[in-house]
Amino acid sequence: MTVLSSVRPIFRAVVSTVVPEASQLDEQGWAELEALVEAALRDRPPAMQRQLRLFLWMIQWLGVFRYGRGFTFLNADRRTRLLFLLQDHRIELIRCGFWGLRTLAFLGFYGRAEAVQVIGYAADPRGWGVPR
């Protein structure tokens, strides 16, 4: 069992909201994105992995309490509004949880080889000033 297996639909809905281009991914693209995220989570303590799953379930239920439907069933506008609430929440732990989740979304989407080519990222171990 992987960290994301029990929360995959919620995670994908969050990623598609944070990075709208992710909604265009095919199953192979999602597999690559999730593999990158799973690799990043692999060395994290089990308690932190559980917190991530719990946070994702909280997001799902927050949609029910706020809009009468789970997060995965909301349209993009309502998903975005709900995530903004978490991003700017007065409780620091909730803000930190959101920013950690957002970071994982970016890592997974922009860490894929295809995304690197699309955005033209050409890192060089010699630094930024190296002519290309």
The 10s digit of each residue's pLDDT in 74-83 is 999 999 999 9
Count other C-beta atoms under 10 Å from residue 74's C-beta: 21
Task: Give me the mean pLDDT over the 48-70 stretch.
Answer: 96
User: Of 61, 48, 62, 63, whose CA–CA distance to 3 is shortest?
Assistant: 48
Pairwise CA distance, residues 53 & 7, whole Å: 6
94 vs 126, more confident: 94
pLDDT band at 121 (very low <50, low <70, confident <90, very high): low
pTM for this predicted structure: 0.88
